[in-house]
């Protein structure tokens, strides 16, 4: 049996044909995720809902020709961010992306919207919400709108993925719980209405919560009818795609980085807690500096050639080779070049006239990454509740030096995952 899979990501909208019998992915097609709306104030990151929907429809149309026998559409989407729609699914707003930073702007007293929001919640409420509070979180952006009287009466907040699927099906939007990060009372698995009321969000029409195996509606495509299931969170889809087990600690190292563990019950810790599947939970720490920060270093190292009109085609291969034979030689590199789980005070220290080389710089960066994974894992659980690592992400496959440093800090068996389409594979657990 084959079905269609749709991944509404932040860099691309990707789709594939999923074979449920062989657990394989084929005929991958993608469209770039639309660019943000131009001319917005600094820190704003909004995207046209119409552009997003058009891209998603294009991907689905292309997939239909590859799998004329498919009768099901499974989807996952980016978490965080929000958009508002009316009862007929007409957008009140653009999609306010999880990349949006407007809530970090400080007022003359030095206080940000994010600071004021956190002050509205007790520690107990914050814990029940999974300790989810980022600049682009749904609640952060909704609170920013509420503070400026920009919330339309009886608007419905939806994720971008839920908007796409509801519009495809001409149905009321529904939200699967893995998409509801920072909005659910994890002790009751329902909307946290008390937390919303404290922010002035109690006048909103919250969508119905649903289960991943409960169809949302149907869409007609190329003369066929596809049954559409709810959008699930892309992080949870990816971890299910690597078959993460409760006894494992997941370390994912790609553009961003996360450490995660499945828990059978709600187990608050010094970390984020998110809904998992089948009534379980996931403790996680996200926004650990990784590929995005390494790219900053690579861009610096290749700036002069670029200015001279020379493109170094194999810069990452050269970096890989240089880091293999380097020891760091006293150099240290904090990759927190943006607000992250490790702070926001990126720096390079310990520079001498001899040690500032490409190899030493990346050796130091990998040391920082491995230290960050260990530090974050101890925040999740000071005494390990796992007996194996599950390591995924392109960086670990590309840089043997990084993997070796992780292995040195975690004297445990390691399960390496080379699969590159784990998010799409994770969709197949929805059936």
* Spatial distance between the Cα atoms of 38 and 160, rounded to a whole number of angstroms: 19
- Residue 339's pLDDT band, with cuts at 50, 70 and 90, is confident
Q: What are phi and psi of 116, to 5 degrees?
A: -65, -40
* Spatial distance between the Cα atoms of 105 and 74, rounded to a whole number of angstroms: 38
In DSSP terms, 416 is beta-bridged to 391
pLDDT at 106 over 80: yes
Tokens representing 282 are 């996931």
pLDDT of residue 344: 87
Per DSSP, the three-state class of 195 is: helix
- Residue-wise pLDDT for 311-322, tens only, equals 999 999 999 999
Could you tell me which of 140, 153, 15 has the C-alpha nearest to residue 74? 15
Please report, for residues 2, 15, 66, the alpha-carbon distance to residue 27 in angstroms, rounded to integers and kept in the order given.
12, 8, 7
pLDDT at 111 over 80: yes
- Residue 3's pLDDT band, with cuts at 50, 70 and 90, is very high
* Spatial distance between the Cα atoms of 205 and 317, rounded to a whole number of angstroms: 51
- Residue-wise pLDDT for 140-174, tens only, equals 999 999 999 999 988 999 999 999 999 999 999 99
Which of the pair, 23 or 251, is modelled with greater confidence? 251
Please report, for residues 119, 125, 128, the alpha-carbon distance to residue 122 in angstroms, rounded to integers and kept in the order given.
7, 5, 10
Are 31 and 53 in contact, with CB atoms under 8 Å apart? no
pLDDT at 375 over 80: yes
Helix/strand number for the chain, H first, E second: 14, 22
What integer is the mean pLDDT of 116-139?
Answer: 96
- Residue-wise pLDDT for 263-309, tens only, equals 999 999 999 999 999 999 999 999 999 999 999 999 999 999 999 99
pLDDT of residue 12: 94
Strands 2-8 and 12-19: antiparallel
Tokens representing 385 are 């509740």
Are 33 and 55 in contact, with CB atoms under 8 Å apart? yes
Which domains does the chain possess?
2-235 (3.30.420.40), 244-418 (3.30.420.40)
pLDDT at 340 over 80: yes
End-to-end distance of the chain based on CA atoms, in angstroms? Answer: 11
pLDDT at 378 over 80: yes
pLDDT of residue 205: 96
Tokens representing 145 are 């709108």
Find the range with the poorest average confidence among 123-127, 178-182, 341-345: 341-345
pLDDT of residue 370: 98
- Residue 206's pLDDT band, with cuts at 50, 70 and 90, is very high
* Spatial distance between the Cα atoms of 299 and 393, rounded to a whole number of angstroms: 21
pLDDT of residue 431: 61
pLDDT of residue 430: 64
Burial of 269 (0-12, 13-18, 19+ CB in 10 A): middle
- Residue-wise pLDDT for 48-88, tens only, equals 999 999 999 999 999 999 999 999 999 999 988 999 999 99
Burial of 381 (0-12, 13-18, 19+ CB in 10 A): middle
pLDDT at 418 over 90: no
Render 296-333 in DSSP notation, one character per residue.
Answer: HHHHHHTHHHHHTT---TTHHHHHHHHHHT---TT-EE
Render 123-170 in DSSP notation, one character per residue.
Answer: HHHHHHTTS---TT-HHHHHHHHHHTT---TT-EEE-HHHHHHHHHHT
Tokens representing 138 are 């749904």
């Amino acid at each position: 049996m084959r079905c269609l899979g749709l991944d509404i990501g932040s860099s691309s909208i990707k789709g594939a044909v999923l074979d449920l019998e062989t657990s394989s992915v084929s005929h991958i097609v993608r469209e770039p995720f639309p660019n943000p709306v131009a001319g917005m104030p600094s820190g704003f990151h909004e995207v046209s809902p119409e552009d997003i929907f058009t891209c998603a429809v294009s991907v689905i149309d292309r997939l239909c020709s590859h799998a004329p026998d498919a009768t099901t559409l499974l989807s996952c989407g980016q978490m965080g961010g929000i958009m508002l729609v009316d009862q007929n699914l007409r957008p009140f707003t653009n999609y306010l992306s999880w990349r949006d930073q407007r809530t970090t702007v400080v007022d003359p007293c030095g206080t940000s919207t994010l600071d004021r929001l956190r002050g509205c919640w007790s520690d107990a409420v914050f814990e029940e919400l999974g300790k989810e509070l980022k600049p682009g979180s749904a609640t952060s952006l909704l609170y920013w709108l509420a503070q400026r009287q920009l919330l339309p009466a009886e608007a419905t907040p939806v994720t971008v993925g839920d908007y796409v699927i509801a519009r495809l099906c001409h149905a009321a939007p529904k939200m699967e719980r893995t998409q509801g990060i920072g909005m659910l009372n994890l002790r009751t698995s329902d909307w946290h209405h008390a937390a919303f009321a404290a922010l002035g969000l109690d006048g909103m029409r919250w969508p119905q919560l649903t289960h991943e195996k409960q169809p949302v509606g149907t869409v007609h495509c190329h003369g066929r009818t596809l049954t559409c299931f709810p959008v699930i969170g892309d992080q949870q889809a990816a971890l299910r795609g690597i078959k993460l087990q409760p006894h494992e600690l997941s370390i994912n190292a790609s553009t961003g980085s996360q450490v995660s563990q499945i828990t059978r019950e709600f187990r608050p810790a010094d970390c984020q807690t998110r809904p998992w599947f089948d009534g379980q939970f996931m403790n996680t720490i996200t926004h650990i500096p990784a590929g995005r920060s390494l790219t900053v270093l690579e861009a610096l190292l290749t700036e002069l050639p670029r200015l001279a009109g020379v493109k170094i085609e194999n810069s990452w291969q050269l970096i890989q080779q240089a880091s293999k034979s380097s020891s760091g030689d006293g150099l240290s590199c904090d990759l927190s070049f943006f607000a992250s789980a490790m702070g926001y005070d990126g720096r390079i220290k310990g520079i001498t006239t001899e040690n500032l080389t490409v190899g030493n710089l990346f050796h130091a960066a990998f040391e920082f990454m491995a230290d960050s994974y260990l530090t974050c894992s101890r925040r999740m659980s000071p005494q390990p509740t796992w007996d194996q690592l599950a390591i995924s992400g392109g960086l670990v496959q590309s840089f043997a030096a990084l993997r070796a440093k992780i292995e040195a800090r975690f004297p445990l068996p390691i399960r390496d995952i080379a699969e590159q389409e784990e998010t799409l594979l994770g969709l197949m657990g929805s059936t």
